[in-house]
């Protein structure tokens, strides 16, 4: 007689949390989670208690008090009567300005160098290799300092442009007497409108209506040009002949902008020497130029490597097929290789944009007052609110980085390989 024995249902014992592989991973995760949380709690508690020990509190009211210091470069209105909060905003805009200019220039230069590094021309290829290796392997701070030092040591002071008392004429300005390069700044003509439309106040800052008009004109041109090209494609598909569009495009781009400029009475105010410095023009400080140049050259070296990797990831058969169809090398690169390489290039490119933005905080080395220089430098020091300022600064950099990465991810989604 067969006896059917039930497999006894194993009851849960505490030791199984450690010895049973089904539960062990869960146990470890829970314990680690609690340890991490306890560590965080300890840090916060420690900071809190130490602040109390020093008799300090934790609040952000200093952002609304008078800053009292001046900033060399301001994009929106600021005086030393403005608040620390506004000084922070000025710093943030300066950071965004140099980051934007840097990303733009580094991308153009990086793609250029990356493509040229693969050139069959031995000299061009080696030159690009030398450039990339030089900039990749020396710390960015040194490049910033070097370029800045060259700027201030190799250029003349504003004094050099002055006519001496004995009648000896000083240096004349460069580029048909319109631009003055000095060891402090480059004075360039200031675009002005004699029939300006004024400004609209947006609370925090004012926006020039002239600028809005120009942007509107450019947008108009953009859409008109797109319609023109779409029409040309339609005609091409219908008849097989593509109508000549280049001169129409050119007109569409130029005419509205020129019309707006003429209507607003556009003219340039040329810099002239008065007192110690050049006035009337725009003085672009050497610290901005040096920082921008260094960030661009440094990041471009990395972008060049990314572009090279992207191009090399595309199978050789693609270019062979393109050549077999009779496409010239330039068009092969633009129409076949680069579009495919983009999906390899974009993700690491996002990282480079983030790096550039964060690296711009090295600006303090050359006295460019960015977010780190205003909020994390002078404001922190004048108010003594280290913890608040640093936390705020970290938060702002985090937000900037997340925004850049978010925007670039949207772009990445639009160019990546479509799978169906």
- Contact residues for another protein (CB under 8 A)? 18, 28, 31, 35, 38-39, 42, 46, 49-50, 53-56, 68-72, 80, 152-153, 157, 159, 183-184, 274-277, 279, 283, 286, 364-365, 367, 369, 373, 377-378, 380-384, 386
Concatenated DSSP letters of 298-346 = HHHHHHHHHHHHHHHTS-HHHHHHHHHTT--HHHIIIIIIHHHHHHHHH
Q: Which is nearer to another protein, 139 or 157 (CB)?
A: 157
Least Å from the CB of residue 283 to another protein: 8
Backbone angles phi, psi at 193, to 5 degrees: -120, 120
Q: Which is nearer to another protein, 44 or 124 (CB)?
A: 44
As a whole number of angstroms, the distance between CA 324 and CA 390 comes to: 59
Q: Residue 77: beta bridge partners?
A: none
Put residue 6 in one of left, alpha, beta given phi > 0 → left and psi -120 to 50 → alpha.
beta
Smallest separation, CB 151 to another protein (Å): 9
C-alpha distance from residue 179 to each of 109, 152, 172, 194, 382 (Å): 25, 17, 9, 22, 37
CB of 164 to another protein, least distance (A): 11
Cβ 302 to another protein shortest distance, Å: 27
Contact (Cβ atoms closer than 8 angstroms) between residue 239 and residue 162: no
| Cα torsion through 122, 127, 132, 135, rounded to 10 | 160
Q: How far is the CB of 152 from another protein (least distance, A)?
A: 5
Q: Name which of 63 and 365 has its Cβ closer to another protein.
A: 365
d(CA 85, CA 328): 56
Q: Which is nearer to another protein, 125 or 367 (CB)?
A: 367
Q: Which is nearer to another protein, 305 or 370 (by Cβ)?
A: 370
> What is the smallest separation between the CB atom of 149 and another protein, expressed in angstroms?
8
Measured from the CB atom, the residue of 280 and 401 that comes closer to another protein is 280
> Could you tell me the smallest distance in angstroms from the CB atom of residue 384 to another protein?
4
Cβ nearer to another protein, comparing 41 with 255: 41
Lookup: tokens for 22: 């089904």
Q: What CA–CA distance (Å, rounded) separates 32 from 28?
A: 6
Q: How far is the CB of 367 from another protein (least distance, A)?
A: 5
DSSP per-residue letters across 217-283: HHHHHHHHHHHHHHHHHHHHHHHS-PPP-HHHHHHHHHHHHHHHHHHHTEEEEPPEEETTEEESSEE
| CB nearer to another protein: pick between 162 and 248 | 162
Query: Shortest approach of another protein to residue 276 CB, angstroms?
Result: 4
Tell the smallest beta-carbon distance from residue 96 to another protein (Å): 19
Which residue lies nearer to another protein by CB, 72 or 347?
72
Instruction: Between 50 and 233, name the residue whose CB sits nearer to another protein.
Output: 50
Neighbouring CB atoms inside 10 A of 199's CB total 14
Question: Given the complex with another protein, which of 35 and 104 has the nearer CB atom?
Answer: 35
- Rounded to a whole number of angstroms, the minimum distance from the CB of residue 275 to another protein is 4
Nearest-angstrom CA–CA distance, 197 and 212: 10
Between CA 339 and CA 260 the distance in angstroms is: 36
The whole-angstrom separation of Cα 308 and Cα 137 is 18
In angstroms, the CA 284 to CA 294 distance is: 16
Q: How many C-beta atoms surround the C-beta of residue 66 within 10 A?
A: 12
The secondary structure element, H or E, covering residue 206 is: strand 206-208
Q: What are the φ and ψ backbone dihedral angles of 278, each rounded to 5 degrees?
A: -80, 140
């Amino acid at each position: 007689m067969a006896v059917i024995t039930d497999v006894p249902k194993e009851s849960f014992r505490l030791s199984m949390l450690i010895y049973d592989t089904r539960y062990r991973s869960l146990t470890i995760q829970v314990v680690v989670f609690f340890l991490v949380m306890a560590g965080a709690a300890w840090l916060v508690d420690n900071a809190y208690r130490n602040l109390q020990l020093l008799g300090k509190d934790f609040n952000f009211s200093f952002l609304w008090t008078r800053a009292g210091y001046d900033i060399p470069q301001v994009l929106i209105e600021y005086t030393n009567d403005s608040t620390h909060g506004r000084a922070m905003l000025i710093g943030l805009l300066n950071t965004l300005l140099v980051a934007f200019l840097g990303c733009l220039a580094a991308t153009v230069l990086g793609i250029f160098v990356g493509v040229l590094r693969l050139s069959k021309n031995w000299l061009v290829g080696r030159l690009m290799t030398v450039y990339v290796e030089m900039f990749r392997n020396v710390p960015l701070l040194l490049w910033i300092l070097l370029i800045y030092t060259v700027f201030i040591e190799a250029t003349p002071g504003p004094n050099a442009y002055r006519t001496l008392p004995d009648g000896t004429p000083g240096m004349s300005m460069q580029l048909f007497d319109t631009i003055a390069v000095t060891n402090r700044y480059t004075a360039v003509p200031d675009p002005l409108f004699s029939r300006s439309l004024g400004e609209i106040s947006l609370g925090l800052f004012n926006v020039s209506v002239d600028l809005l008009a120009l942007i509107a004109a450019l947008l108009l041109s953009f859409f008109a040009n797109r319609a023109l090209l779409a029409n040309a494609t339609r005609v091409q598909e219908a008849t097989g002949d593509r109508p000549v569009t280049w001169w129409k495009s050119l007109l569409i781009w130029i005419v509205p902008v020129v019309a707006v400029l003429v209507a607003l009475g556009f003219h340039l105010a040329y810099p002239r020497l008065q007192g110690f410095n050049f006035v009337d023009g725009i003085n672009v400080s050497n610290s901005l130029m040096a920082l921008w140049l260094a960030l661009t050259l440094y990041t471009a070296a990395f972008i060049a490597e990314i572009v090279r990797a992207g191009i090399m990831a595309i199978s050789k058969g693609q270019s062979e097929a393109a050549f077999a169809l009779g496409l010239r090398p330039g068009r092969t690169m633009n129409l076949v290789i680069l579009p495919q390489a983009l999906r390899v290039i974009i993700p690491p490119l996002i990282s480079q944009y983030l790096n550039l933005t964060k690296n711009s905080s090295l600006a303090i080395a050359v006295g460019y007052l960015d977010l780190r220089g205003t909020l994390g430098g002078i404001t922190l020091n004048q108010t003594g609110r280290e913890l608040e300022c640093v936390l705020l600064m970290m938060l702002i950099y985090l937000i900037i980085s997340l925004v850049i990465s978010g925007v670039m991810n949207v772009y990445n989604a639009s160019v990546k390989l479509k799978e169906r």
